[in-house]
Amino acid sequence: MFGLNKKDTTLLIIVAALCAFAPFLLNPFPEGSDMAQFNAGYPDLMQRFVIFGIFAIGFNILFGLTGYLSFGHAAFLGVGSYAAVWMFKLLSMNIIPAIILAVVVSGLFALLIGFISLRRSGIYFSILTLAFAQMSFALAYSVLTPITGGETGLQLALDDPRILGISQTAQGNIPVPGLFGMEMRDSFEWAVGSWLFTFNFGYYICALIMLISFYVSIRIFRSPFGMMLRAIKSNQQRLNYTGLNSRPYTLAAFVISGMYAGLAGGLMASMDPLAGAERMFWTASGEVVLMTILGGAGTLIGPILGAGMIKYMENIISKINETILHEWFYWMPDGIEDLLVAMVYPFIGKGWHLTLGIIFMLVVIFLPGGLVEGGQRIANLFRRRKAKKDDTKGTTEPAE
Amino acid sequence: MEAIILQILNGLDKGSAYALIALGLTLIFGTLGVVNFAHGALFMIGAFCAVTLSRILTLSHEVIDPTRVDFLGNPLKVDVPYLYDWFGVETGDMIIDWAVPLSILFAIPVMIGIGVIMERGLIKHFYKRPHADQILVTFGLAIVLQEIIKYFYGANPIPTPAPDAFVGSFDFGVLIGFEANQIIYPYWRLVYFAFACLVIGAVFAFLQFTTFGMVVRAGMADRETVGLLGINIDKRFTIMFGLAAAVAGLAGVMYTPINSPNYHMGMDFLVLSFVVVVVGGMGSLPGAVLAGFLLGILESFASMAQVIDLIPGINQVIIYLVAIIILLTRPRGLMGRKGVMED
């Protein structure tokens, strides 16, 4: 289907189904129950899942395929956000022009930075991209305040022109981003028994765009262009000796992944129309690296898994507090309960970064292929066991 | 003229910190070939060594002071540091006052220990892995170290003052024959600069004039041959890692009076230190020191009001700008050796 082979089509359909039924899947616990805090099916978080999924998919096209580790990818996300918010300010609250401008601007920005940074490779490339991103962050924070809003961030105002739209609504409010009359924050709530499912319009727009970007990334992975990028990763020197100039390919990959980041930034601004410089800070760049590695760099589904997992952990683990821990362990003897709570406590709530760091280190050390490799190993384990069983059945007794 | 000297002086203390961290980074890179993203965390741990020691020194017990009463008329309870009991009030006060310089003695063994544990426990397994993996695992380690410190010390900066003798500023201009009140410079920053020079000198002397240093330098040039000569180079490189950690830690200890330590100070310095290493030339120790001071001074020049008026925002980006220009025009860095990580 769509020019994909059977395996990829299945993958695409699985991801599509997961996206479509996310409001159910992420809300497995009834409202008001003790476990309700682990529900992740609220619009804001679901939107972030897919937006960071797009970001990570794009990063994976660069890092997973070419092996160039960019430590400044958040700059493109930030630029995309700014572009989108400016479109909301100047043109209209329709998200289509905003997203288009976000992608175009971040693509141009990536072209500029990539043109310079890709002259070097390895650690130098990482540091160059890091330097560029930090530079953009510093500029956005200080000198470019008329464009970026500086410390407060870029926000919509009542007196923005919005040539094609309206400056303010009849009630005198700032209009909200929408798509031909539908507002991004429109939600439909469906109560089944004690469960409450929220279907958010903005989420489905994001999910649709993520599916399209996922499809494009599959096509890139399977194309001759993708093969070329993989050749660059495995041995760039040999590629150069064959007389091929690898830079146009890496630059194309860099620009594509920058555009993905811009798309994510544009969507982020569409869901919540403001943009701040902190989105470009280098920890944000580090976050997307974490997501991609955690899920599995160079695999198709990995970055989405990684993005989902990190965002889920960020929201859910940081919500757990000491009282909840005591509730969990209440059935234990007092001393052991306190001990367990004391042991777990540093890793939850505000300490979730610690958990993240530890998980990340464990993944890099033991599972360089990320969660996807972990899944494959487990699958192999079962397969081998099965194969062994078959083997024992098949052996014939030696004749006596 | 006064303004120029003032800016150079202002750049020296930051430059010293950059130079010390970059020196450690280069030591690790030159010996072990590992790109250590956790080096900023080592700097931060060094700073918290000073915090820890000053807390240990002020450990106190409650004593009832019969001469004073609180507002209810009960005898007042006062906290008395154990040091007062042991050394008397005067000596005890002096020791507490000198907590930061004393932390140097405390930090050296701690940092060498942490460095050796890090190398043996984690980094050792990453020599054969690609540079990207090394960056990632040390990045993860930096997050973990940072969060551990945050858990124990909280997220707020902890003020750690310098000894009273070095608090305040003095008129540096008079010393070198300018008018009074032209060049005012804080004492502690001068101490920091002198200390940095001392540490840098000590590291170079250690490498240059001791047998151990000679072996290490030989190992940096050709690890395999040194190994074939029957020298256990791995062990020496481990010690060098500990030494590099100690250099970063000392930079952190002495920096505490300039900037109150908080858990993310390491990361703030790390990014800049990497830029410094790249500008100086990967694997070149003199290059790292030179680039550290150079960038520190450049940064302080760029933050002069006249320069900012000319090119707005230059103070924020000057270091990155210099790094980009250097990398594109002179990829090896200012003093990089030929053939070391050129691509």
pLDDT in tens, A291-329: 888 888 888 888 988 888 888 888 877 777 777 777 777
Q: Which of A17, A278, A247 is nearest to A119 (CA)?
A: A247
Query: C-alpha angle B50/B6/B252, rounded to 5°?
Result: 15
Checking if the pLDDT of A395 tops 70, the result is no
Q: Is any Cβ of chain A less than 8 angstroms from the Cβ of B137?
A: yes
Q: Which of B45, B212, B16, B200 is nearest to B115 (CA)?
A: B45
Q: Which residues of B touch A281 (CB under 8 A)?
A: none
Rg (CA), chain B: 22
Q: Which residues of A touch B267 (CB under 8 A)?
A: 283
Q: What phi, psi does A156 have (nearest 5°)?
A: -75, 155
pLDDT of residue B72: 74
pLDDT in tens, B264-309: 888 778 878 888 888 888 778 888 899 998 888 888 888 877 777 7
Distance CA A333, CA A340 (A): 11
Residue A384, classified by CB atoms within 10 Å of its CB into exposed (0-12), middle (13-18) or buried (19+), is exposed
Residue type for position A101: L
pLDDT of residue B237: 87
Mean of pLDDT over chain A? 82
* A354–B151 C-beta distance less than 8 A: yes
Average pLDDT over residues A373-380: 87
B39 Cβ contact partners less than 8 Å away, ≥ 6 residues apart: B21, B24, B25, B28, B138, B244, B248, B266, B270, B273
Higher pLDDT, B153 or A186: B153
Distance CA B238, CA B233 (A): 9
> Quick one: closest CA in A to B278, which residue?
A124
Query: C-alpha angle A149/A154/A160, rounded to 5°?
Result: 105
pLDDT in tens, A36-78: 777 777 788 888 889 999 999 999 999 989 888 888 899 999 9
Residue A51, classified by CB atoms within 10 Å of its CB into exposed (0-12), middle (13-18) or buried (19+), is buried
The CA-atom distances, in angstroms, between A79 and each of A137, A292, B37 are 10, 21, 26
Domains for chain B: give ranges and CATH numbers.
2-55+100-329 (1.10.3470)
* B131–A368 C-beta distance less than 8 A: no
Task: State both tokens at A172.
Answer: 């005198």
Which spans in B256-304 are helix H? 265-280, 285-302
Q: Of A296-305, A313-322, B12-21, B105-114, give the lowest mean pLDDT range.
A: A313-322
Query: How many residue pairs from chains A and B have C-beta atoms closer than 8 A?
Result: 109
Chain A residues whose C-beta is within 8 A of a chain B C-beta are 67, 69, 116, 119-124, 126-128, 130-132, 134-135, 138-139, 141-144, 282-283, 286, 289, 293, 346, 351, 353-354, 356-358, 360-361, 364-365, 368
Q: What phi, psi does B318 have (nearest 5°)?
A: -55, -45
Mean of pLDDT over chain B? 83
pTM, to two decimals: 0.84
Distance CA A76, CA A261 (A): 6
* B144–A139 C-beta distance less than 8 A: no
pLDDT in tens, B43-61: 999 999 888 888 888 888 7
Q: Cα distance from B20 to chain A (closest Cα, Å)?
A: 19
Checking if the pLDDT of A161 tops 80, the result is no
Q: Which residues of A touch B125 (CB under 8 A)?
A: 365
In this prediction, does ipTM exceed 0.85? no
pLDDT of residue A104: 94
Checking if the pLDDT of B162 tops 80, the result is no
A127 Cβ contact partners less than 8 Å away, ≥ 6 residues apart: A71, B274, B275, B278, B323, B327
Q: Cα distance from A379 to chain B (closest Cα, Å)?
A: 25
* A135–B321 C-beta distance less than 8 A: yes
Checking if the pLDDT of A251 tops 90, the result is yes
Q: Cα distance from A14 to chain B (closest Cα, Å)?
A: 30
Q: Cα distance from B320 to chain A (closest Cα, Å)?
A: 5
Q: Which of A296, A226, A292 is nearest to A256 (CA)?
A: A226
* B320–A132 C-beta distance less than 8 A: yes
How would you label B137-169 residue by residue, b for 16+ Cβ within 10 Å and e otherwise? bbbbbbbbbbbbbbbebeeeebebebbeebeee
Q: Which residues of A touch B271 (CB under 8 A)?
A: 130, 134, 282
Domains for chain A: give ranges and CATH numbers.
6-301 (1.10.3470), 320-394 (no CATH)
pLDDT of residue B163: 79
Q: Of A55-64, A174-183, A244-253, B3-12, give the lowest mean pLDDT range.
A: A174-183
pLDDT of residue A57: 92
Report the 3 state secondary structure along chain A: CCCCCHHHHHHHHHHHHHHHCHHHHCCCCCCCCHHHHHCCCCHHHHHHHHHHHHHHHHHHHHHHHHCCCCCCCHHHHHHHHHHHHHHHHHCCCEHHHHHHHHHHHHHHHHHHHHHHHCCCCHHHHHHHHHHHHHHHHHHHHCCCHHHHCCCCCEECCCCCCCCCCCCCCCCCCCCCCEECCEECCCEEEEEECCEEEEEEHHHHHHHHHHHHHHHHHHHHHHCHHHHHHHHHHHCHHHHHHCCCCCHHHHHHHHHHHHHHHHHHHHHHHHHCCEECHHHHCHHHHHHHHHHHHHHCCCCCCHHHHHHHHHHHHHHHHHHCCHHHHHHHCCCCCHHHHHHHHHHHHHHCHHHHHHHHHHHHHHHHHHCCCHHHHHHHHHHHHHHHHHHHHHHHHHCCCCCC
CB A69 within 8 A of CB B135: yes
Distance CA B31, CA A121 (A): 21
Average pLDDT over residues A118-135: 83
pLDDT in tens, B320-329: 888 888 877 8
Distance CA B188, CA B195 (A): 10
* B316–A138 C-beta distance less than 8 A: yes
Nearest Cβ partner of A121 from B274, B282, B343?
B343
Higher pLDDT, A156 or A115: A115
Q: Which of A205, A74, A212, A56 is nearest to A130 (CA)?
A: A74
- Say what percent of chain A tops pLDDT 90: 18
Nearest Cβ partner of A116 from B140, B312, B324?
B324
pLDDT in tens, A196-208: 777 888 888 888 8
> Quick one: closest CA in B to A138, which residue?
B316
Distance CA B142, CA A357 (A): 8
